[in-house]
Amino acid sequence: MSGGDAQALESRLVTTGVERLALLGKHAEALMAGYARDEVPLEGLSTTALNRLLAARILWRPDEQGGVKLAPKVRELIAEMLADETRRHVNADVAETLELMRGLVQSYREARDAGEYWRQEQQLLRLRQEVDDLNGRFADAIDSLWRRLNGDFGFVSRLADKIRENARAQKQIVRLLDGLALIDFDELIALVGSDGALRKLLVSQLQQQLTQHFTSLREVQRRLIELMARFRQQQSRSRLVAGMVGFLREHPDFVPGNYARRSEVPGLVNRAAPLSAAGAAALDQDPDVRTLTELLHQLPRPASRPEPVTAAGVAQAPEETLVAARQQALKEDVEAYYLAVVDRGGEPLSALAYLAAGELAWGEELWLFQVIAEYRGLPRAEQRAFRLDQEESQAGPYNQLRLIHDVLLRLA
C-alpha cells in the first residue's frame, strides 16, 4: 500500500468514526435508557435513526421477536465510562495482544529493511497504541478492584456476602497475575534486537509499567486482607454485644459487679498483660552495697584445674603454661585485694600491708605494678567507684623520677 492510499484510508476511518460518535451523542438519552433497562425504548427514535444505529453496530436485535438492545461493546464502553462496577468486565487477553505485537514488530522490521519509512512510522504508531491499550486494560482492572473494595466489599453487611466478594476479587487478581506472567521480556529482547525505538517501547517502558501494576496488585491484596480481618473483628464484637443484649433480656435484674475490688478477676475481664518492672543495683546506696557484698561472698570460688597425669607420674608442664598460670594467680590475688577493700566498707587499705598479712609470695615491685595495672584496666564506671593514692617520693634532688613506695586503695 502506498503512502497516498494509506492516507486516504485513514481519512475515511476518521470520517466514519466522527459520524458514529455523533450518533452516540445525538441519541444519548435513548441509549442510556437502554443501558438502564433491558431494551432500548423506540418511542423517541425514528425509523431512519434506528436503521443508522443498527448499521453502525451501536444497537442490535438478538431475534426478530425481541426488542432492540445495546451492542455488548457499547454497553461495556458505557460501564467503563461510568465506572459501574456491577457491569464492568476485566478484559486482559494478553496472549492475543502479544501475538498482534509480534506481527507488528515483523512488519516494522520489513518496512525498515525496505526503506518504507512512512509504513515504518505507521507500524511503530500501532505498536505504541497496542502497548497503551494493554497497560490501560490492566490499569482499568486494578482500578475496578479498588472501587469494588471501597464499594461492594466495604459495605456488605453479611459475612457470607463478604467472603464471596473476597473470593471474587482474589480470583480476579489471580487472572491478572497470570496475564502479566505471559509477558516474557527475554522473548521481547530477542524480538526487538538492536532497534533503539523498539527496545525503549517494548522493554524499558513496558517493564516499568508492569512493575507498577505488580505493586498495585500487592497493595490490593494487602487491602483485601486488612478489610477481611477488620470485618471479622467487627463481627465478633457485634456478636458479643448481641449475646449480652440477649442475656440482659433473660436476666433483667442482673447488676454488674465491681471487678476492680475483687481479688479474683474473671479471665474474660482480666486481659491486661503483666508488667515486668526493670531493676538495677545502685552502688551509691549503702543497703545495695551491703547486699551486693553478701552476694559476692556467696559466689563459689573457681576450682583449680588438676595437672595432667601420665603413666610415669606428673607430667612436666611447658614453660608457657607455667607463666600463664603464674600470671592468672597474681591477677586473682589482686582481685581478692580489691574485694577486701569493699569488705572493709571503703576504708583505705595498703597494698603492701595486705601482701604481708596474706603471706603472699610476690615481690613488692611486681605486686604494686599489678595493683596499679588492675585499676587502670577497669571500665570508667567501675574505676570511679575506687580511689587509688600512691605513696611516692622523688628519686633525687637532680632526678625528677618518682619512686612509688606503697599504694592505698579505698572506695570513692
Q: Which tens digits make up the pLDDT trace of 124-158?
A: 888 888 888 888 778 878 887 887 777 656 556 67
> Of the ranges 12-26, 69-83, 91-105, which one carries the lowest mean pLDDT score?
69-83
Higher pLDDT, 352 or 280: 352
Q: Has residue 312 got a pLDDT over 60? A: no
Q: Per-residue pLDDT averaged across 17-21, rounded?
A: 82
| Cα-trace Rg, the chain | 46
Total Cβ atoms within 10 A of residue 109: 17
Specify the pTM: 0.44
Measured at the CA of 199, the angle between CA 196 and CA 202, to 5 degrees, comes to 145
Residue 1 has what pLDDT? 53
315 band by pLDDT with thresholds 50, 70 and 90:
very low
Q: Per-residue pLDDT averaged across 10-31, rounded?
A: 81
135 to 75, 97, 270, 391: CA distances (angstroms): 21, 11, 54, 88
Residue 311 has what pLDDT? 46
Can you tell me which residue has the cell 615481690?
Answer: 363
Q: Per-residue pLDDT averaged across 386-404, rounded?
A: 80
Residue 313 has what pLDDT? 42
Contacts of 375 (CB under 8 A, 6+ apart): 383, 386, 388, 409
291 band by pLDDT with thresholds 50, 70 and 90:
confident
* Percentage with pLDDT > 90 across the chain: 1
Averaged confidence pLDDT in the chain:
79
* Percentage with pLDDT > 70 across the chain: 85
Higher pLDDT, 228 or 351: 351
246 band by pLDDT with thresholds 50, 70 and 90:
very high
**Residues 409, 386: contact at Cβ < 8 Å?**
yes
Q: Per-residue pLDDT averaged across 301-322, rounded?
A: 57
Q: Per-residue pLDDT averaged across 94-110, rounded?
A: 87
Q: Per-residue pLDDT averaged across 195-211, rounded?
A: 88
Strands (E) across 125-205 are located at none
Q: Per-residue pLDDT averaged across 167-175, rounded?
A: 82
